[in-house]
Amino acid sequence: MDTSLSTPLDPATPADSGTLVLAVPKGRILSELAPLLARAGIRPAPDYADENSRRLRFPTDDPALDVVRVRSFDVATFVAHGAAQIGVCGADVLMEFDYDQIYAPLDLGIGRCRVSVAEPAELAGRDDPSRWSRVTVATKYPNIAQRHFAARGVQAEVVELNGAMELAPSLGLARLIVDLVQTGATLKANGLMETEVIAHVTSRLIVNRTALKTRPEVIGGWIARFRAALASASAR
Ligand SMILES: Nc1ncnc2c1ncn2[C@@H]1O[C@H](COP(=O)(O)OP(=O)(O)OP(=O)(O)O)[C@@H](O)[C@H]1O
Ligand SMILES: O=P(O)(O)OC[C@H]1O[C@H](OP(=O)(O)OP(=O)(O)O)[C@H](O)[C@@H]1O
């Protein structure tokens, strides 16, 4: 892993020194996150919640804090490079990238799902995974998949996709998939069966380690506000 990710990559365009940037994933996590942000006292401009808004960076009613809305994998990239100092992303993303520069102090308890292995339902009953020496796997988590199968002495040939992994087995692209599962409805609708849970997933508050060292009061203050927001939610 690259351990040099302490500052934005391009020194000619440093991140704003004063304003703190919070990176949040667009999509499904945004609505689950909204009540928590409100309890933490973060009120972004109203179009932040509008998926149709073309704006990516939103001021909040705190002039020292802006929110940026990016893809969930990119939240980790922005925070690892210090372009955003804090962020929210799934444990699945942290497991996949394993950035040294990211510290994840809080489990936010939202975005609850699991990273699992699945295969066609008609194969699952008669397959014997202990006899595999090599498998093909469609996934957007190549590192998680490689590590998981390597630990079992199985060589995984990964076909990397960005979505619709569930199509891969029936179209002959891969024998298995490694993907997120929550209700299991997507697997079922596509004739697949979950055969192994690799990890349980929730979203985490993440911070850039260097920012935490250089601005401990500010970043530590935000961690404390999120912690208090979580405690007040669980006390209700
Ligand atoms: N079905 C689900 N149930 C609960 N949480 C989920 C589910 N799917 C994904 N997540 C969590 O939400 C995060 C973002 O997932 P989402 O599906 O919104 O983005 P994505 O489709 O992976 O991103 P993108 O559209 O940028 O490719 C994931 O990293 C995971 O932690
Ligand atoms: O078990 P379930 O409740 O059916 O949820 C699982 C689905 O949720 C995620 O996809 P998402 O809806 O985010 O779409 P994506 O293909 O854009 O990732 C994941 O990739 C699965 O396809």
- Ligand that comes closest to the CA of residue 92: 1
- Residue 69 Cα, ligand 2 centroid: separation in angstroms? 19
28 CA: nearest ligand 2 atom: 13
Rounded to the nearest 5 degrees, what angle is found at the Cα of 162, between the Cα atoms of 26 and 178?
A: 105
What does 39-79 look like in DSSP terms, one character per residue? Answer: HTT--B-GGGG-TT----EEEBSSTTEEEEEE-HHHHHHHH
Our answer on whether the CB atom of 105 is closer than 6 Å to any ligand 2 atom is: no
Instruction: Output the CA 186–ligand 2 centroid distance in Å.
Output: 7
Tens of pLDDT, residue by residue over 36-75, are: 999 999 999 999 988 888 999 999 999 999 999 999 999 9
Measured in Å, residue 181 CA sits from the centre of ligand 2 at 7
Residue 133 Cβ inside 6 Å of ligand 2? The answer reads: no
SS3 148: helix
Ramachandran region of residue 116, left (φ > 0), alpha (ψ -120 to 50) or beta? beta
Backbone angles phi, psi at 130, to 5 degrees: -70, -15
Alpha helices in the chain (DSSP H): 28-39, 72-80, 91-97, 121-124, 142-150, 185-189, 209-214, 216-235
Residue 27 pLDDT grade (very low, low, confident, very high; cuts 50, 70, 90): confident
Q: Is 200 helix (H, G, I), strand (E, B) or coil?
A: strand
At 1, the pLDDT band (50, 70, 90 cuts) reads very low
Residue whose CA is at the smallest distance from ligand 1 atom 9: 180
User: Among 69, 95, 180, 201, which is best to mutate for testing ligand 1, by the most ligand atoms less than 8 A from CB?
Assistant: 180
Which residues have a Cβ under 8 Å from the Cβ of 14 and sit 6 or more positions away?
7, 8
Answer yes or no: is pLDDT of 111 > 70: yes
Specify the domain boundaries for CATH 3.40.190.10 within the chain.
20-111+202-235, 113-200
State the fold for domain 20-111+202-235. Answer: D-Maltodextrin-Binding Protein; domain 2 (3.40.190)
- How far is Cα 177 from Cα 180, in angstroms, rounded to an integer? 10
Ligand 2 pocket residue status of 71, Cβ below 6 Å: no
In terms of C-beta density within 10 A (0-12 exposed, 13-18 middle, 19 or more buried), how is residue 61 classed? exposed
Q: Residue 5: pLDDT above 80?
A: no
- For residue 49 and ligand 2, the question of a CB distance below 6 A is answered with no
Structure tokens given for 223: 């961690």
Specify the pTM: 0.92
User: Which ligand neighbours the alpha carbon of 116 most closely?
Assistant: 2
Looking at domain 113-200, its CATH architecture is 3-Layer(aba) Sandwich (3.40)
Two structure tokens written together for 112: 């609850």
